[in-house]
Amino acid sequence: MAGRNILYISGSLGLGHITRDLAIAKELRKQNPTLKISWLSAHPASLLLKDAGENLLPEADTYANDNIAAENAAQGFQANLLKYLLKARKAWAHNVEIFKQITSKEHFDVVIGDETYEIAVTLIKEPSIRKAPFVMIYDFCGLDILIDDKQSSIRKRYPS
């Protein structure tokens, strides 16, 4: 795996994801010290990446922040998932465009997405934009049920 180039996209919704992602990156580098990891993430996760000395892509400055939609959908300690999804759609479309731009101009051996549902769904709907293997990390159980069985690569690879 010498000289491999990874695009790591970390969802910014909550900071638990970025701490997990940094731990994964650390372990990957233990296995291969020559590994190059380029990060794409929005504020506030991008701040932790900068503090950790990671290679944050310039496009991260314009990558949409999921926290804004979540905060707008929340009332107190409750959040309406449908309201969140409706508010996040524009931001997700923007993030998909950034993803397409980055992967069309730079080669990556693998793309890792943590809670990047917009990227995962787009790759299923538009397989021609997939330039490298995509690894999805998610902790929202039931995502594979939300996607049509005929299009879901998750369901095809891991049938019930």
Give 83-138 pLDDT, tens digit per residue.
Answer: 777 777 888 899 999 999 999 999 999 999 998 888 999 999 999 999 999 999 88
* pLDDT confidence bin for 1, thresholds 50/70/90: very low
Token duo for residue 23: 């731990």
User: Tell me, what's the pLDDT at 141?
Assistant: 57
Token duo for residue 145: 């049920």
Domains of the chain: 5-157 (3.40.50.2000)
Tokens representing residue 30 in the block: 């233990």
List of residues 6+ apart from 54 with CB closer than 8 A = 22, 25, 37, 39
Q: In whole angstroms, how far apart are CA 40 and each of 6, 56, 59, 82, 154?
A: 11, 6, 7, 26, 24
Contact 95, 11 (CB under 8 A): no
Sheet (strand 36-41) strand order? 55-56, 36-41, 5-10, 110-114, 134-137
pTM tops 0.85, yes or no: no
- Amino acid present at 57: L
